[in-house]
Homo-oligomer: A and B are copies of this chain.
Amino acid sequence: MGNDYYYECPHPVAIPPAKPFIESVKSGIKETLFPDDPFRQFKNQPASRKFILGLQYFVPVLEWAPRYTFEFFKADLLAGITIASLAVPQGISYASLANLPPIIGLYSSFVPPLVYAMLGSSKDLAVGTVAVASLLISSMLGKEVHPNENPKLYVQLAFTATFFAGVFQAALGFLRLGFIVDFLSQAAIVGFMGGAATVVCLQQLKGILGLVRFTHETDLVSVMRSVFSQAHQWRWESGVLGCCFLFFLILTRYASKRKPGFFWISAMAPLTSVIVGSVLVYLTHAEQNGVQVIGHLKKGLNPPSVSELAFGSPYLMTAIKTGIITGVIEGVAVGRSFAMFKNYHIDGNKEMIAFGMMNIAGSCTSCYLTTGCRTAVSNIVMATAVMITLLFLTPLFHYTPLVVLSSIIISAMLGLIDYEAAISLWKVDKCDFIVCMSAYIGVVFCSVEIGLVIAVAISLLRMLMSVARPRTFLLGNIPNSMIYRSIDQYPIANTVPGVLILQIDAPVYFANANYLRERISRWINEEEEKVKSTGGSSLQYVILDLSAVGSIDTSGISMLEEVKKNIDRRDLKLVLANPRSEVIKKLEKSNFMESIGQEWIYLTVGEAVAGCNFMLHRSKSNNPATDKDELDAHDNV
């Protein structure tokens, strides 16, 4: 035992074997960009099998086509027709929301679903984003180009924005950067979507009240001013019709929510409304009494629009900006729908590529954005149904009243206002609730873009703040155990006399190193003052529990060095407990471990306290043998 007699550490802290630099870079890249291990199925396969799997990977249609049966087809046929009956009126409605000709909404329900059927692999995708994207298009492009004064340029810019949304999404997917959409927190999305839905509903007041002129602003104040300044022009026919249809749509939605088997009721309701509305108008000639109708829609499939992409336009930057923002919003919807439908075997980045391709193809075929889709074949069915509509049925929409479209949009939007989620945010996490409400208020009272910026900024700020201000806890011993836990959480835990045990609750980075240095110093001050005022045994050891410090950077190492110097200056001893592999590696490389002494680094707080107690008693009695007994006695308490 000799001169340097220490409490023998029962479980030494291991320093993990050093990895070669290249290997750690490789594993870092893998964890960062390929966390879902998308190529796992290729491992340990012969070359021919790899080729087939590869083809199936890039063109999923090859995967499911051989296994496709007639049973599947029957289900898909029904689903496809149901979606089509939803897609046709919604397509027309959303196009009018984007201030685009209604026919473009129909075009957009034809080509893109076909592209997605070939490339995509998700079975369920969120419906409703299209409304928000349409709103973004009308609000961002509408600022630069007036859709009524220069309709041709406006449509061109919408195609161009769609093109860039596609390019952006495909690029994110190819570079496997799809995770950047994760930086929008769920609370922010709830607020943003709710706000956007509210704004969309407010815009529908134009249709419901049968107004001809309307503001181009989207904020609540402007819309209300516009609505009430024209109070004398409200058309009661339009209003009554709108309220009836809205009531009908909400009722069917509520009914199918109560009985999930009746999904088709709410899916067919919009088409039913359109038909009933059109027939009503046709019979009563209401279009001559202030009820606005769609008017002429030309027959025929999507005309090509490659030549319409306005790359040379002075508004190119606006189109790019609009494209990127709508691309992100769609990306968020993709990510969110995966989370919602718990489909764990989907590669988000691949979906991003599929979405990107869909939008690029769409922008070249007179489409602006895409509607939701279910399975590949049901997509094809739906596209076929839309094709038939485009070829033969467009004249039937001539008498469709705009007020029905407004009702359809409102009823769809009401589902996006997730007030239940907001209430649960308030209950669980006030901070997230504030994020949510800020995004909502930003969208409703300022503009969609400002709301989005607020949502992203406040989410990031909140995250940075919690990184910058990690919590530190005083630990105490849980009676009858060797376990040490925060005294705040476990009031039964007892502090150890002469030993201050602190726990750092987050990784240590440059952003919190200064704070932690000050905070630890304050803990020690407070403890010393407490000891002075109560007259307990004086402070001898400071144990830092690093269990929750998953990583550390060089600023953090410097912080520890300074803390150690500060503790040494007060004639105390710094002891570390449970440094993780990242931390211990860096402590070793930076020579901090040498300066603190490896014997002062323990595997658990319990062992660290035992070691400290042993040293405390040894320095009092200077008799190792009895100490050992005392120590054991303590251990067994």
Contacts and interface: CB of A to CB of B under 8 A. Distances in A.
Contacts of A562: 339, 342
A547 interface: yes
Given A428-B557, A562-B339, A581-B486, A182 B550 contact: no
A555 B470 CA distance: 19
Interface string A474-518: 000010010101101111100000000000011101111111011
A580 B486 contact: yes
Given A10-B481, A550-B471, A550-B505, A515 B428 contact: no
A46 interface: no
B182 A580 contact: no
Given A470-B550, A471-B550, A506-B506, 5 more contacts: A11-B478, A179-B468, A427-B589, A429-B586, A505-B551
B517 A186 contact: no
Contact of A505 (B14, B183, B465, B580): B580
Contacts of A471: 31, 550-551, 582
Given A35-B515, A35-B518, A590-B424, A603 B485 contact: yes
A580 B489 contact: yes
A554 B489 contact: no
B335 A514 contact: yes
A605 to B, nearest CB: 11
Interface in A391-433: 424-425, 427-432
A475 B436 CA distance: 37
A21 B140 CA distance: 40
Nearest to A466: B551
A490 B603 CA distance: 11
Interface residues of A, number: 92
A123 interface: no
B463 A506 contact: no
A31 B469 contact: yes
Nearest to A190: B554
A548 interface: yes
A185 B10 CA distance: 38
A483 B11 contact: yes
Contacts of A70: none
Nearest to A557: B428
B14 A459 contact: no
A184 interface: yes
A428 B586 contact: yes
9 contacts: A24-B430, A32-B465, A183-B510, A184-B510, A186-B554, A342-B562, A342-B566, A424-B590, A489-B580
Nearest first, the 6 A-B pairs at minimum CB distance are A185-B510, A505-B550, A489-B581, A186-B555, A548-B548, A16-B489
Contact of A550 (B21, B459, B506, B551): B506
A285 interface: no
A344 B518 contact: yes
A272 interface: no
A506 B507 contact: yes
B35 A464 contact: no
Contacts of A580: 486, 489, 505, 548
Contacts of A469: 31-32, 35
Contact of A182 (B182, B428, B468): B468
A527 interface: no
A182 B505 contact: no
Contacts of A431: 553
Contacts of A184: 510
A77 B358 CA distance: 77
A519 interface: yes
Contact of A554 (B339, B432, B490, B553): B432
Contacts of A37: 522
Contacts of A485: 603
Interface string A556-588: 011000100110000000000000111010100
Contacts of A325: none
A393 to B, nearest CB: 42
A447 interface: no
Nearest to A582: B471
Contacts of A427: 589-590
B428 A589 contact: yes
Interface string A578-613: 001110101001100000000000011000000000
A589 to B, nearest CB: 5
A553 B179 contact: no
A554 B522 contact: no
A35 B553 contact: no
Contacts of A11: 478, 481, 483
A467 interface: yes
Given A184-B510, A603-B483, A488 B581 contact: yes
Given A344-B566, A604-B483, A518 B550 contact: no
Interface in A504-552: 505-507, 509-515, 517-519, 521-522, 547-551
A478 to B, nearest CB: 6
A36 interface: yes
B551 A548 contact: no
Given A550-B470, A603-B483, A182 B14 contact: no
Contacts of A179: 468, 514-515
Nearest to A589: B428
Contacts of A490: 14
B515 A182 contact: yes
Given A32-B469, A425-B554, A478 B603 contact: yes
Contacts of A16: 488-489
A183 B517 contact: no
A551 B467 CA distance: 10
A520 B604 CA distance: 26
Contacts of A603: 478, 483, 485
